[in-house]
Chains A and B, each alone.
Chain A
Amino acid sequence: MYKLLLCVRYLRTRYIALASIISVMLGVATMIVVNSVMAGFTSEMRDRLHNFLADIVIESRTMEGIDDTDRQLAAVEAAAGEYIAAMTPTIDVPGMIMFEDPYNGKTITTQVMIQGIDPESKGLVGPLRDYLASYNPEIEDGVVIREAERSRAEPLSWELTASAARYREEMKRQEALEIRGAFEDDSLSVTNTPHENRAIDDSPDFDPVSSNPSTNAAADESKPLDDDAFLQDPLVKQPESQIQTGAYPARVYIGEGIVSFQAQDPDTGKLHKVMLRQPGDDIILSTVTVGRPPEIVKMNATVVDSFRSGMNEYDTSIVLMNIKELQKNRGMHLDNAITSIHIRLKNYDDAPKAIAALQGAFPPGTVTIKTWEEKQGLLLSAVEVETAILNVLLFLIITVAGFGILAIFYMIVVEKTRDIGILKSLGASSNGVMSIFLYYGLGLGIVGSTAGVALGLVFVRYINQIEDGLSWVTGRKVFDEKIYYFFEIPTYVNPVMVLSVALGAIAIAVLASILPARRAARLHPVRALRFE
C-alpha cells in the first residue's frame, strides 16, 4: 500500500517528473497526429487512385490494341461475369495537346495521355460525375462560387451544356467579325492580339466532318504547325458564311490541371483558379495512328467539360475523349479495337479469383491484367515505406523521452536515498522499494500517454482550425487546398494505432524505470540512512 501512496506522492510533488510526463505526452501526441494525417492522406489517395483506375484493368500490350470490342467484352463477361459489376472499354494513347493562352496569346503545347472513353459505362465503373465540373458546384475557400450546371440525374454524354453552346456561338461570331476586320484592314499588327490566334480553330482544313486519319494526315502536310500559317490562312480562305459554330465531333473532358493555373488576385491577395479553356472552346490534339509505322494525326476537338479526380498526376496529364472519334482518328474503327478494359467488381475481395478467371479469356501474351493496387504498386509501397520509417523515427522520440525518464528517476532515487533507508528500517522489502519506482514509471507512462492521446486526438479533431490559425499567424497558407485538392486536411484515427502508441509509450516508461528501481532496491539500508 505504501508503494502506491508514495508513488502518487512522488508524482505529485516532483515537478521534474512533469518534464518526463510532458516529453512522453508530446511524443505520443506527435505520433498520433502524424499517423492520423498520414493515414488520412493515404486512404484519400488510395480512394482517388482506385476510383480513377477501377478495380481491375485489362491492358493490351501494344498501342494498336485488340480488335473487336464487343467480342472482348463478351469474353470478359463469359469468363468472370459473376464477379463483375461494370466494365468499360478504353483506349489509352499518348499525345500532345495544343491550345492558346487567351491572356498572352502564346500557344501552349504539352504532352498528355489521351483516354478514349464511353462516358456512360465509365460512369458505372468509376465516379465520373464526381469529377466533371458541370456536375459539381465550384467551391472556393468553402464558398460556392458557381452552382452545378447539370443535375446528377442527367446522363453522362458529350453534349455541351446550353450555356457552353451559347458561349461557343458568341465566341465564334466575335472571331469571325475580327477576322473579317483584319482581312479588310490587311494590317498585320492586329494579328498579334490573342483573339486573332483563335482563328486557327476555324481553319477549314480541320473539317470536323471529315476528321479521319487520312484527311488529317493530309492536312498535316499542307499545313505545318507554324504560327504564320495559322494566322494567314484563315484570313485568306475563310468567307464568313462558312464559319463553323457547331462543336467538333471530337469532344473532350480535359484534365483541369492542363488548362488552368492559380493566379493571385492583386486586390485580395487570394489565389484563385484561372481556366485557360472553357467548355465550348476548342483545342488541337495530336497522336499517332495504328498504321505501320505510326503516323501523326491531328484532331480538332471541342472541350465539353473539365474534370478533377483529385490525383494531381491525372488531372495534369489526362484528356478524356469520346472513344469512337479516337478510334476513327487512329484508324482503329474498322476493327473496333481498344487498348484496355476497366472493370469494377461487385466485391473487391474477389479480385484474385476474377483475375485468374480472366487470364484464360485472352490469348497468352496479348494483355496484362492487374488490380489497381498492382498498377500503382510502386507509389503505394513507397507511401507504406514512408509511413513505416516515419513511425520508427517518431518512436525514437518516445525512446528519447524514455532516457529522460531514466535520468530523472536516477536523480529521484539519489534524492530519496535516505527515505529508502527509512522504509527498509520500517520493514519494507527490496521488492517493495523497487515497485515504488516501477509503479512510478507506470504512473508516469499512463499519465503521459493519456495526456498525449487526449492532446493528439484534440489536435487531429481540430487540425483544420489549427491550420487556419497557423496560416493566420504566419501569414501564408500552411496547407494549400488548391495544391492538394482537399478542402480539409484528411485524417483517419485508427484506434489500434492509438492504443499501440499509448501502450508502447507506457512500456518504454516502465522499462526506463527498471534500472533506477533496481538501484533503489539494492541500496543498503544503513548506507542509505547515513546518507546526507
Chain B
Amino acid sequence: MAETIKMTKPLISAEAISKSYFKGQHKIPVLQGAGLKANRGEFISVIGQSGSGKSTLLHVMGLLDSPDIGEVILDGTRIDNLNQKARDQLRNHVFGFIFQFYHLLPELSLLENVMTPLMIRHSIFGYWAKRKEIRDAAMDIINQVGLSHRIKHRPSELSGGEMQRGAIARALVGKPEILLADEPTGNLDAVTGRGIMELLNSLNENQKLTIVMVTHDEAIAAQAHRTVRLAEGRIQLHAREDAA
C-alpha cells in the first residue's frame, strides 16, 4: 500500500509542452501544450498518427531535445532547463532509450554495444578498474533478453528482433528508472513484435520498470497499462484501462 501512496506523485511528467519546427519562414507547430505523467512502475503507451509528434514528445521527455514552452519534471525536480553536463548525466543514468531502427553501433559487437552506456559513464581508468563488473552486468542483461549466444556478433549479423533485444539490453544495462521506447516494434513482423512486447511487459512486472512507449499501432498500445492519444499536438483526454 505504501507503493500506491508513492505512486500518487508521478516519477516523470511533461507539462504543457509546446514545440515547433521552422521550415524556412514557416513555423510548424508539432506539440501544442502536450502533457503526460507516468508514475513509478507504470507502463504507458502513447498512440498517435505518424507525424503527430510522438517521437518529439519522447525526445523532450528524455532530454534529447528542449521544449519551446513547458517543463519536464523528474521526481519533483525540473530537469529540462539543466545545463548540458547534467542533462548528459541524466540521460546516462535515468533514461534508457530504444528506437524503431534499433540504432546499435555497427562497428561494435553486441556485447560492446550493450556495455556502451557504462563505458560512457566511467572514465578509462574507472572502466579499467571495474571492467569485470561492467562485463558481468552486460552479460547478465544479455542473458535476460535471451541473446547470450550472440555476444560476439556485429549488429549486421543479427535479425531485427535480436537487434531490438540488444537495444533493450543496452537501454537497461545502466539501471535506468525510465525506459523510453519509440515504436519498438515498428520495424518488426507481428510475431517478433509480440516477443518484444512480452519482454517489455515482463521487465515492467518483474523489475517495476517505468516504461513510456509510443506507437501508431493500436494492438501494441493495448498491451500497456494505460494508453493516451496524441493528436493535434495535445494529449486527448481519453483513457483506457486506467490504473488509477
A residues in contact (CB < 8 Å) with B: 1-2, 4-6, 9-10, 13, 418-419, 421-430, 432, 524-526, 529
Q: Which residues of A contact B137 (CB under 8 A)?
A: none
What total of chain B residues lie within 8 Å of the partner, measured CB to CB? 34
A524 to B105 alpha-carbon distance, docked (Å) = 18
Query: CB within 8 A of B88: which of A6, A419, A428, A524?
Result: A428
B64 / chain A contacts, CB cutoff of 8 Å: 424-425, 525-526, 529
Is A6 a contact of B105 with CB atoms below 8 Å? yes
Beta-carbon contact of B107 and A9 below 8 Å:
yes
B93 touches A529 (CB 8 A): no
Q: Which of B10-18, B33-41, B111-119, B211-219 contacts A (4 or more CB under 8 A)?
A: B111-119
Residue with the highest number of chain A CB atoms closer than 10 Å, among B88, B121, B174: B88
A6 to B121, CA, bound (A): 15
CB distance from A162 to the nearest CB of B (A): 80
Point out the residue from B62, B90, B120 that lies within 8 Å of A423, measured CB to CB: B120
Given A1-B127, A2-B116, do A429 and B84 touch, yes or no (CB 8 Å)? yes
Residues of chain B within 8 A (CB-CB) of A432 are 120
In the bound assembly, the distance between CA atoms of A100 and B75 in angstroms comes to 110
CB distance from A430 to the nearest CB of B (A): 7
Known: A5-B108, A9-B107, A526-B65. A427 touches B88 (CB 8 A): yes
Output the nearest chain A residue to B103 by Cβ-Cβ distance: A422
* Residue in chain A with minimal CB distance to B93: A427
25 A-B pairs with CB atoms under 8 Å apart are: A1-B120, A5-B108, A9-B107, A9-B108, A419-B105, A419-B106, A423-B116, A423-B120, A424-B64, A424-B88, A425-B64, A425-B97, A426-B117, A427-B88, A427-B89, A427-B91, A427-B92, A427-B174, A428-B88, A429-B85, A429-B88, A430-B84, A524-B65, A526-B59, A526-B65
Beyond A5-B108, A6-B107, A9-B108, is A425–B91 a contact (Cβ under 8 Å)? Answer: yes
Interface residue SS majority, chain B: helix
Determine the distance from Cα of A422 to Cα of B108 in the docked complex, in whole angstroms: 13
Residues of B within 8 A of A418 (CB): 103
> Does B43 have its Cβ within 8 Å of any Cβ on chain A?
no
B124, A1: Cβ atoms closer than 8 Å:
yes
Q: How far is the CA of A425 from the CA of B181 in the complex (A)?
A: 12
Task: Report the bound CA distance from A418 to B107 in whole Å.
Answer: 13
Q: Which residues of A contact B99 (CB under 8 A)?
A: 529
Report the bound CA distance from A459 to B90 in whole Å.
55
A4 contact set on B, CB distance < 8 A: 124
Q: Beyond the given A1-B120, A425-B97, please list 16 additional residue pairs across the A-B interface where CB-CB is below 8 A.
A: A1-B122, A1-B128, A422-B104, A423-B120, A425-B64, A425-B91, A425-B103, A426-B97, A426-B120, A427-B89, A427-B121, A428-B88, A428-B120, A429-B88, A525-B64, A529-B103
> Known interface pairs A5-B108, A6-B105, A529-B99. Does A425 touch B62 (Cβ–Cβ under 8 Å)?
yes
- Check if B170 is an interface residue, CB within 8 A of chain A: yes
Assembly CA distance A429 to B88 (angstroms): 6
Q: Are the CB atoms of B107 and A10 closer together than 8 Å?
A: yes
The answer to whether B92 touches A426 (Cβ under 8 A) is yes
Q: Which residue of B lies closest to A528 (CB)?
A: B64
What is the bound-complex CA distance between A419 and B92, given in angstroms? 16
- Of chain B, the residue at the smallest CB distance from A2 is B119
Does B123 interact with chain A (Cβ within 8 Å)? Answer: yes
Q: Closest Cβ of chain A: how far from B103's Cβ, in Å?
A: 5
